[in-house]
Structure 1
Amino acid sequence: MAEESDTERSTVMTYVPAYQKQEWKAHAEELGMSQAEYVRTMVQAGRKGFEIDTESPDMEGSSDPSDPRGSGLETRVLDALDSADSLSWDELVDSLSNDFEDRLEETLDSLQDTNRIRYSGRDGGYRVVDQ
């Protein structure tokens, strides 16, 4: 793995459906980010395994979402710890991801409503609907 201090840039190309690019572009604009910055930030957030809620209006004190190495998560950790004497790892994870399951269910429902995915008990899970 390359050193994080290595600043040499390299091009990464991918192809996504047009609707997905439009969604990413719109979300990037909402966050005041370029498309490249948005994709880098989302990939890094996914790699860290944390759900970073940049859409929630009640995230007071969070850092600028256009700064992928900013202190948004740090702020959330400090806020969670301020509300208790101490928290175990599991309690801290629970407090930071408390609404993820609800948001996932809403997203899955929405994707099923628009016929983009389908749940198949026979196949044992969700599948993308062939376009």
Structure 2
Amino acid sequence: MSSERRTVKTYVPAAQKHEWERHAEELGMSQSEFVKTMVQAGRRGFTLQDPNNPPKASSDGSNPRGNVLEERIERALAEGPRSWDDLIDEVRGDLEDRLDSALDALQDRNRVRYSGRDGGYVLIDE
């Protein structure tokens, strides 16, 4: 599988997006990771564990999201061998998706705005 990444966009009703956000959060996933996982699960004909009974996070408290990075690496390697650079790209893409989602949420709550004049994102004072 190529490590080249491409953007895929889709438009869904607001209620559906909200449901996906909630479910992704329950599973400790970014929206991007959730959608990719759901699409792959559907294509392969298997299902994820019941979201009402998620697996116990293997966290000692110092990492409240458990071993999400390790799980992400395992999923990538399940598709076949990956180089160091491929794995970096896989993790970097997820971080970029999470950053994008967080900025969207902050902008929706009027906490952050993009200012070309200031050269980037700025915090909005309350």
TM-score range, shorter chain: 0.3 to 0.5
Task: Please give the TM-score of this superposition, normalised by the length of structure 2.
Answer: 0.46
Q: Which has the larger radius of gyration?
A: 1
Q: Which has the higher contact order (CA 8 A, sep 6+)?
A: 2
Q: TM-score, normalised by structure 1?
A: 0.44
More helix by share: 2
